[in-house]
Chains A and B, each alone.
Chain A
Amino acid sequence: MSRIARVWVVVEYAKAGILGTSFEALGIARDLCADGGVTAVVLGEKVAHLAPRFFPYGADRVLAVEDARLKVYRTEPYASALAALARARGPQLVLFPGSTRGRDASAALAAELGAPLVVDASDIRVEDGEPVFTRPSFGGNLFSTIRAVGVGPRLATVRARAFPMPTATDGRSGDVETVAPTIDDAAIRTEVLGFEAETGSVVNLVDANVIVSGGRGLGKPENFSLVRDLADAVGGAVGASRAVVDAGWIPYVHQVGQTGRTVKPKLYIACGISGAIQHLAGMRTSDTIIAINKDASAPIFKVATWGVVGDLFEIVPLLTKKIRARLGK
């Protein structure tokens, strides 16, 4: 397989730390790129000190783009700085994590450069020195193989958890270059006034290793406590079907499916979810799926690794209790 000479990974860094998908993107970049060609690009006010975090996962060099205007993520200064750098240095492929911010930044950069962008790549390989992408659409029901047309850099966001987390190579190091970017002040049209963090249980479904989801089978909103308790026992996030979100049982941020979040946890436990096609679209690529439902003909059993036909009001609390006991919780 031929390789690509210069690949950039625009890593995501915020108050919460470095987003995990950034490392997954570095791993695939390492596989696609010629030796010495992987650059981790990190933007912020002071970010050069983060460089040692990226070398063990595949970066050959780190470009620390430092400017007070980049302190908090905003679309326009990020896109402006990245566009100027990409024009000057000519990366052939620029990867972003498939987070809301990665999608936002990559789209703005694509618009700025007029560059082709593949959103949500689940596989990338190299043919004749060109990246060839695979991406899901129709809620994971169709996988398209795509090639970019024309000249200039190819951009892609990397689907969270689609690529393995690379193993860290200790002692690996490289060059760190700090650059003051060119940012078009006239292009800045926004000001971040604040961030209102969600409180309570973990709801970042995209990053969760384990998700426990509830549906209509729970009968009434109060019974979501069964799902929350099991999620708590397994250290997972709480998901939900569209039906119960639309019924107002639980906020939209929990919704898994075509009009909610697409997730790919290591373990997905569906409680009282029949498995409408729109729901399956959002979770069918989970590594392991457990379905608990009283209706043996429910479509959820078609994608389940292990299914239990039975009364969730009996099974779910018992499962929670036994897992707590085994984990010493």
Chain B
Amino acid sequence: MRSIVCVKRVPETPTFEIVPPTGLRFREGTNFAMNAFDEFAVEEALQQKDKHGGEVVALSLGPAENEKILKDCLAMGATGAFRLWDPEFGGGDPFATAYLLSLAIRKLGDFDLVFCGREAIDGQSGLVGPLLARALGATPITYLAKIREIDLSGRTLVVERQLEGGREVLKARLPAVLCCTKDINHPRYPSLLGIRKAAKVEVPVWGVAELGADAARIGAAGARLRVESVAPPPARAGGELLAGDAEQVTDALVERILGLKIL
């Protein structure tokens, strides 16, 4: 079985200052790491490899700093990794990202499954997976909570999707793009041996030329959405600490809750 896993490097906390009109400056000490949802995607790809054999190739789009999360994938057990970057890729939107990932995946050849996270915790659009599926002619499967079975010879899989109020059981054709939610598995820690081996791997970088990318579809030029300004969330009105013993504060809370007239 051949799987691809797409990972993004994100700030773990929203600790930034706004630089008008649309820039962000992250505070010193802000930790950047693999997007939390992508860790579940990597783990799921590896678990399926353990079951069905084959390979897991990790892809990440971004500058040199992104090499760290690709090494993390290798240390966990991925069999290969490629970084997609060219200065011209900067300023792209999910359409451009999905386009570039699709070029890289096609360049790698046949595949059965592509694993992504449900969404990135920074941009939170959850668009790259579905857009990538369309670009590859693969089945888009969002909100993946469990893989029940994969039938490689019949070219199908059965999955559970976490939706509001329950889980949908879906049979789908391969190849598919799977967008993983959090409760699908518990990501493994890289082994010491894995970390040592990953440190020695040279991660190739593919740019515009290697991917044969159309300049009109990448970077700021290819973006379909333009951010005009950014702002912090509206400040909350100052809160009130309720004083008194348990009887007094609960009396005060009951009055206030009932005063909202929503129960």
Q: Which residues of A contact B (CB under 8 A)?
A: 16, 75-76, 99-101, 103-104, 107-108, 110-112, 114-120, 132, 136-150, 189-198, 203-204, 206-207, 209-210, 234-235, 251-253, 255, 258-260, 266-267, 277-278, 281, 284-285, 288-290, 296, 301-311, 314-315, 318-319, 322-323, 326-327
**16 additional A-B residue pairs with CB within 8 Å, beyond A189-B176, A252-B183, A260-B182:** A107-B126, A110-B127, A110-B131, A117-B127, A136-B233, A143-B230, A143-B232, A145-B230, A146-B226, A149-B224, A190-B170, A192-B168, A258-B121, A289-B239, A310-B249, A323-B263
A sample of 18 cross-chain residue pairs with beta-carbon separation below 8 angstroms, ordered by A number, consists of: A107-B126, A111-B131, A116-B225, A140-B233, A145-B227, A148-B224, A189-B173, A189-B176, A191-B170, A193-B170, A194-B169, A210-B262, A277-B15, A289-B236, A304-B239, A308-B249, A311-B246, A326-B258
Does B108 sit within 8 A of A, measured CB to CB? no
In the complex, chain B residues 17-49 whose Cβ is within 8 Å of any chain A Cβ: 18, 22, 24, 36-37
Could you give, for residues 53-76 of chain B, a 1 whenever the CB lies within 8 Å of some chain A CB and a 0 otherwise?
000000000000000000000000
Contacts of B121 in A (CB 8 A): 138-139, 258-259
- Tell me, in angstroms, the Cα distance from A150 to B260 when the chains sit together: 45
Contacts of B199 in A (CB 8 A): none
Q: Which residues of B contact A (CB under 8 A)?
A: 11, 13-16, 18, 22, 24, 36-37, 95, 121-127, 129-131, 133-135, 139-143, 158, 160-173, 176, 181-183, 223-233, 236-237, 239-242, 246-247, 249-254, 256-258, 260, 262-263
- Tell me, in angstroms, the Cα distance from A74 to B247 when the chains sit together: 53
Contact of B131 with A319 in the complex, beta carbons under 8 Å: no
- Closest chain A residue to B167 by CB distance? A196
Q: Distance (Å) between the CB of B174 and the closest chain A CB? A: 9
4 cross-chain pairs, A with B, having the tightest CB-CB distances, nearest first: A111-B134, A107-B130, A252-B183, A116-B224
- Closest chain A residue to B256 by CB distance? A306
Most buried by B among A138, A193, A289: A138
Contacts of B18 in A (CB 8 A): 142
Contacts of B135 in A (CB 8 A): 111
- Closest chain B residue to A296 by CB distance? B241
Contact of A266 with B260 in the complex, beta carbons under 8 Å: yes
Contact of A108 with B124 in the complex, beta carbons under 8 Å: no
Contact of B239 with A143 in the complex, beta carbons under 8 Å: no
Looking at chain B's contact residues, the main secondary structure is mixed
Most buried by A among B131, B160, B168: B168
Given A137-B123, A190-B172, A195-B168: A259 touches B182 (CB 8 Å cut-off): yes
Contact of A145 with B229 in the complex, beta carbons under 8 Å: yes
Contacts of B95 in A (CB 8 A): 114, 116
Contact of A104 with B143 in the complex, beta carbons under 8 Å: yes
Contacts of A104 in B (CB 8 A): 130, 140, 142-143
Q: Distance (Å) between the CB of B135 and the closest chain A CB? A: 8
- Tell me, in angstroms, the Cα distance from A136 to B121 when the chains sit together: 11
Most buried by B among A111, A192, A278: A111
Partner of B134, one of A112, A285, A308, A319: A112
Given A142-B232, A305-B237: A266 touches B130 (CB 8 Å cut-off): no
- Closest chain A residue to B36 by CB distance? A259
Contact of A303 with B236 in the complex, beta carbons under 8 Å: yes
Partner of B170, one of A118, A138, A148, A192: A192
- Closest chain B residue to A99 by CB distance? B164
- Tell me, in angstroms, the Cα distance from A138 to B141 when the chains sit together: 24
- Tell me, in angstroms, the Cα distance from A260 to B121 when the chains sit together: 10
Q: Distance (Å) between the CB of B176 and the closest chain A CB? A: 8
Contact of B246 with A138 in the complex, beta carbons under 8 Å: no
Contact of B182 with A107 in the complex, beta carbons under 8 Å: no
Most buried by A among B15, B173, B257: B257
Given A110-B127, A281-B14, A323-B254: A255 touches B182 (CB 8 Å cut-off): yes
Given A192-B168, A314-B246: A327 touches B263 (CB 8 Å cut-off): yes
Contacts of A296 in B (CB 8 A): 241
Contact of B263 with A16 in the complex, beta carbons under 8 Å: no
Contact of B164 with A306 in the complex, beta carbons under 8 Å: no
Contact of A204 with B260 in the complex, beta carbons under 8 Å: no
- Tell me, in angstroms, the Cα distance from A156 to B257 when the chains sit together: 34
- Closest chain A residue to B229 by CB distance? A145
Partner of B239, one of A147, A301, A311: A301
Contacts of A284 in B (CB 8 A): 233, 236
Contacts of A288 in B (CB 8 A): 260
Contacts of B260 in A (CB 8 A): 266-267, 288
Contact of A193 with B127 in the complex, beta carbons under 8 Å: no
- Closest chain A residue to B252 by CB distance? A306
Q: Distance (Å) between the CB of B140 and the closest chain A CB? A: 6
